[in-house]
Structure 1
């Protein structure tokens, strides 16, 4: 089998208007697993790497991100839009992918699609097992002749060469509600070094206070639905330069403004739970809306079904530590 042709055949489906892209993504994952020949179900591949600013997930979990089908499809489409936009502006491109996992699956489709263009790829991965699997996969696919740099470092500390600034940075290192992983720290470290016109994918992530309730759709059937109330945190170039992001030079600590949200009685009508809701703008019109993906599944905070329909005051603040998260306190 010609592996390059097979990779091109499979990934070309992502850029076509096909009714069911799920089969193409499943085929893509199985192809990468067979090419890498890594037994990623082995216990050693399950281990996350704990850092002071969050976790870097284990090799198996990184590979399984492909199973989030809508997420995978929309990220690839968003990256393609960004590449097409930049390729017409410049003669050459530099794409930095931070947190590649074992396959660099969000960037791999473009290496062959844009093979005739002058694009350099920097693949940055902290997990040594994922990093070795990545290099092995690229080699077996015969892609090592392309302009690819492999960096086994922590993306939250990586120093970008001033003479080699990326035009596009891709990093999907997150869970719903921006829990646990290093997405925010990676974004800050890389974007503070990038040019003002550098595209970061995802372009924007917002966390909002929301509520969930139930309504009867059919006899004896309850349907859960969610309502978004107030945005309390955002990751984007605009947010990074706002007063809501505060960098303490003395402690070298990144802090964020506290928010106070008041939910009025009318907003709480029929509400049963307080939740945190995540929305992701990948790039331009490519977005992951609430509940479209594991990344945008609402996070349960507290049951308020016994609330006597009084206004609620909610304090929130995003914090970075060994377990990054949006801290919530309902008063």
Structure 2
């Protein structure tokens, strides 16, 4: 398989999703072990050792790559478990580890210098000096930047950063620092970073009512109420509806997904190395459809960049898999930066 100018990096929450992403045209997939070393530690999600071996073999046989997300923050008493996960990733033949915590990066650099190290979005590095520090101290080969940057900031970072830049191209948005939601921590008392989700399933309670409406609570906190035929997504504090000033509305953020497809030429011109699709917690249908759409768009752009436009069919396909069936450019589109 030839190298693409911008790598398409897609989510794999399980083996069928990994295979679907590879078959649909992903250049690389990112996945995690079935423990707290990755920031999507949903029950029933992620890979056993046997599944990871099978997935890596499947990808490598087709000339693709697998990145292991070891992107949570261990406490000092359990650091050895994260170090063991780095060893395991190297033994399995992972092409890179995606790491946020500096002690884990340091261990990977010292013990497995030939395995690439990517700075995770959970590391929240948004400036050239921050990336230079990670490059000089831990030899990172790539940095995944947070979804809080405007496109102008991404462009400047690509010019000044010592390593290639990976940006999120499609998927869920977060109004907090990546993976460390203080709203969720306040409501549940646990860290979203190490518990894998803003709303851990053990804290979520749905109730059906006589009028066939449904309410959902997070650790007792009322998040939303849905009418009889109203679609209901996975509940998070930031995307709930609340009574404010006599009105009930999405006071913090509406359910919507990031979609940067129309910015593809600008991201390419900036020198972005990789486009990342969010969604390891999503199903195979999502992974397949979104990967196929972005593969078509990227291939068309590479073959005829000057004539490229985002086709309505591509946008329609992506909107169908977006939260609330709607998409946004998010912080990429803000006027100030």
With normalisation by structure 2, the TM-score equals 0.28
- State the structure with more CA Rg: 1
Higher relative contact order (CA 8 A, sep 6+): 2
